[in-house]
Amino acid sequence: MKLKAKRKAFAQLPTPITTLTQYVEGLTVEVKRDDLTHFLASGNKIRKLEYLFQEAIDKGCRQIVTCGGIQSNHCRATAVMCRENGIKPILFLRGQNPPFPEGNLLIDHLLDAEIHWITSEQYAQRDRLMEEFRLKQDHPEGLYIIPEGGSNALGAMGYAQALLELKAQTDLESLEGIFVPIGSGGTYAGILSALEGLGSKVPVYGINVTKTPSEEFAKRIIDILKEMERRFHMPLAEGYAERVRVLDDYVGEGYAIPTAEGLEQLRSLVSKTGILLDPVYTSKCFAGMLDICRKNALRRVLFWHTGGGFSIYAYSERILKGV
């Protein structure tokens, strides 16, 4: 299976798999280590950015604008890749400028990213705001817009490529499930798209870490899949929409608010294996995965570690207290 999209290689690939056979009795967890894709730009976002930056560079863009929350892994990774490629990073961040930046935001500042602070109400219109910002530039054609999380058809190709990488590392059909956190949908869409192209029916469980309803995410993922089929000829088998599984059960109070179960797994996993989860995405997903495996007697699964470790510095008190 050959992907029909260009990419600019940024990430250190392939990322390894760490196999956990004794963390939970009777359960084998293969951990796909996308927390090791890079140092400053570590995590899943860099895979999407490889494709998006290639298009921006091909268009001759010298500025890139994107958006996210105050501790956005995506914005941090985008800013890093901008500086590595001589491009100016511009970030629309939801929230208020704190007196002392921590975690991802500290890195954004160190990278001298241009930051625009917007409210939650404004963030709901983020695509329109970024387009209006582009049109106000002296040379609008020189500014490239990357959507939230890099989650469009082109960005999702990064995870179609990642699934093919995984296929070369493990027996996909031996897996009873692939688990991945969902914050914008592109990572999930890319994984499922490649599985469809391979004719594999391995279930992909998307653990929603936001208050966006699963039905809305499923629609967004299906839209990305359709666009990947149209633009890049990624085949979709009959009934593909029914294979989209997004679960709302593990988000807790909301996005960027850690859960007690997630923080318990964060502390437990790193103390026993040296694998560090983050408090916003992967800890909720890992806790959700263990609950689903227990309820459904699953014995062999893959956990896709999407990184996010820098955010622990913004949540240190909660992590230590467990709340």
User: Catalytic residue numbers?
Assistant: 72
CA 65 to chain centroid: 18
From residue 289, alpha-carbon distances to 53, 237, 305 in Å are: 32, 26, 12
CB 305 within 8 Å of CB 32: yes
In whole angstroms, give the CA distance from residue 278 to residue 319. Answer: 10
Residue 216 carries which side chain, given as an amino acid letter? E
> Between helices 214-232 and 153-167, what is the axis angle to 10°?
80
From residue 83, alpha-carbon distances to 92, 174, 223, 300 in Å are: 17, 41, 31, 40
Q: Which residue has the tokens 């995405």?
A: 281
Structure tokens at 217: 């995410």
> Between helices 73-84 and 103-110, what is the axis angle to 10°?
20
Rg (CA), the chain: 19
Other CB atoms within a 10 A radius of the CB of residue 6 amount to 13
Structure tokens at 151: 């989650």
Residue 278 carries which side chain, given as an amino acid letter? D
Q: Which residue has the tokens 């961040």?
A: 93
In whole angstroms, give the CA distance from residue 73 to residue 78. Answer: 9
Coil vs helix vs strand at 23: strand
CB 146 within 8 Å of CB 64: yes
Coil vs helix vs strand at 28: strand
CB 189 within 8 Å of CB 270: no
